[in-house]
């Protein structure tokens, strides 16, 4: 069981690392939100699963944490996207890249 737990911990760390790389590489706030939120949610769930397999008596606490993450990540990202739209931030397009050159 420890091997499966370690695999989930590594998968979770990899998704979080890929999400942070996406935050650096994406061109605008909307793409960054999508990359960061999806990868962070999946990475956190994999980490919680790995921790739960290592420590089975922690499952109730981990389920509460997972519930908070699954509720707050989408709400937070949609709130940030709405605020960006209201302030007038335009989504990135290929035409904008050609105009910058």
Q: What is the pLDDT of residue 11?
A: 96
Residue 94 confidence class, pLDDT cut points 50, 70, 90: confident
Q: What is the pLDDT of residue 100?
A: 58
Q: What is the pLDDT of residue 98?
A: 59
Q: What is the pLDDT of residue 86?
A: 94
pTM for this prediction: 0.82
Instruction: List Cβ neighbours of 37 (8 Å cut-off, separation of 6 or more).
Output: 73, 74, 76, 77
Query: Tell me: the pLDDT tens digits for 15-39?
Result: 999 999 988 998 888 989 888 898 8
Query: Tell me: the pLDDT tens digits for 33-84?
Result: 888 898 889 999 999 999 999 999 999 999 999 999 999 998 999 999 999 9
Domain segments of the chain as ranges: 2-100
What would you report as the CA-atom Rg of the chain, rounded to the nearest whole angstrom?
17
Q: What is the pLDDT of residue 99?
A: 55
The residue among 44, 38, 49, 39 whose CA lies nearest residue 6 is 49
């Amino acid at each position: 069981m420890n091997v499966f737990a370690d695999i989930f911990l590594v998968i979770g760390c990899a998704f979080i690392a890929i999400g942070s790389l996406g935050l650096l590489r994406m061109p605008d706030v909307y793409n960054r939100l999508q990359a960061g939120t999806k990868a962070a949610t999946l990475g956190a769930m994999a980490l919680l699963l790995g921790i739960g397999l290592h420590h089975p008596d922690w499952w109730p606490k981990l389920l509460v944490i997972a519930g908070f993450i699954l509720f707050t990540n989408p709400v937070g990202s949609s709130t940030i996207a709405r605020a960006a739209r209201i302030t007038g931030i335009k989504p990135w397009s290929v035409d904008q890249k050609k105009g910058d050159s």
